[in-house]
Structure 1
Amino acid sequence: MAAQNPTKAKFVKTQGTALSVSKTTTLDPKAADLTWADLSVTIKQPQFQGGQSDEIETTVLASVAKEFTTGLADNGTFSMSGNWKADDEAQTVLRTARDDAEPRAFKSVFKDGTSSTFLGLVTQFTWDAAPNGTVNGTFNVRITGAVSFDLPGVP
């Protein structure tokens, strides 16, 4: 009898995801000499929001309807929310990046070993608080350049 798989769904569990930011500015998110600050100890909800490419009209006199191609990819934004901790190393890096307007590398490594890297510019940070809770923080990042999605064991 064949082994039964309890589910057909494909997924990656959230717990165990590692999220980090380069401690220094860089133009190469995969540079071997980068050192990283751990965002996983304060961030609860990272969100990648892919952008949209421009539509370029290419319609000519011989066209029977409007024709288009796409422009350069806009890789969008990345936001992170979680616990605000002003003396946390990674949050200090993010605030410094906001002040110096220089790109930092961001890296996500998921529980299944897949990863994603990109360069980003920190554009905003906020914190908020309410009674009987913890102080929450949010950091917004504008992605600049390409985003890589890498499978484990594939260079």
Structure 2
Amino acid sequence: MAAQTPTKAKFVKTQGTALKVSKLTTLDPKDADLTWADLSVTIKQPQFQGGQSDEIEVSTLASEAKEFTTGLADNGTFTMSGNWKADDEAQTVLRTARDDGEPRAFSTAFKDGTSSDFLGLVTQFTWDAAPNGTVNGTFNVRITGAVSFNMPVKA
């Protein structure tokens, strides 16, 4: 039997990803004093969708064609869907954030040790149900400010 060749593909497995939201409003997603609610126990499919920066035209009389620069970064949206559970602590935090309009910190830690942190405003939540299934919930978050992508510390 031939020896198995290791894969050349680079990837991160999803199982074991930790996703959490700060219990209280904050302006610093890396504040060491934050307390967190665990989203990993109900969320099945988080989706980060980076936004697009504005295009600013900078053409002048000397330009030979239109010239552009980019405006401020728009870090987009974060959508989470999974099991709806109205009495879940993290989902209660998300609904409260929707009602008060205040930012919460979101943190994702991947199995390979990388992580991501950002502030977000919960803009919408929905639930839906169908026969022979479970109640599903979706939460939409508008990212405000910078997003950090953190590499693991190597010893």
TM-score, normalising length: structure 1 = 0.96
The amino acid across from 1:129 in the alignment is: A
Distance, in Å, in 1 between the alignment partners of 2:23 and 2:113 is: 22
Percent identity reads: 88
Residue 72 of structure 1, CA deviation = 0.1
Partner of 1:11: 11
Partner of 1:39: 39
Partner of 1:147: 147
Distance, in Å, in 2 between the alignment partners of 1:93 and 1:103 is: 11
Q: 1:93-113: per-residue Cα shift (whole Å, max 9, x none)? A: 000000000000000000001
Distance, in Å, in 2 between the alignment partners of 1:140 and 1:8 is: 35
Partner of 2:78: 78
Distance, in Å, in 1 between the alignment partners of 2:62 and 2:102 is: 47
Runs of at least 4 residues of structure 1 off by over 6 A? Answer: none
The amino acid across from 1:83 in the alignment is: N
Structure 2 vs 1, CA of residues 90 and 58 (structure 1 numbering), >3 Å: closer, same or farther? same
Distance, in Å, in 2 between the alignment partners of 1:112 and 1:6 is: 17
Q: 1:57-85: per-residue Cα shift (whole Å, max 9, x none)? A: 00011111110000000000000000000
Report the more deviating stretch, 56-65 or 4-13.
4-13
Unaligned 5+ runs, structure 1: none
Partner of 2:26: 26
Partner of 1:102: 102
Distance, in Å, in 1 between the alignment partners of 2:147 and 2:4 is: 37
Count of aligned positions: 152
2:50 is aligned with 1:50 = yes
Residue 129 of structure 1, CA deviation = 0.2
Distance, in Å, in 2 between the alignment partners of 1:132 and 1:7 is: 39
Q: 1:9-47: per-residue Cα shift (whole Å, max 9, x none)? A: 100000000000000000000000000000000000000
Helix, strand or coil for the counterpart of 2:64? coil
Give the alignment of 1:81-92 within 5 angstroms. Answer: 81-92=81-92
Distance, in Å, in 2 between the alignment partners of 1:152 and 1:85 is: 33
TM-score, normalising length: structure 2 = 0.96
Q: CA RMSD in A?
A: 1.2
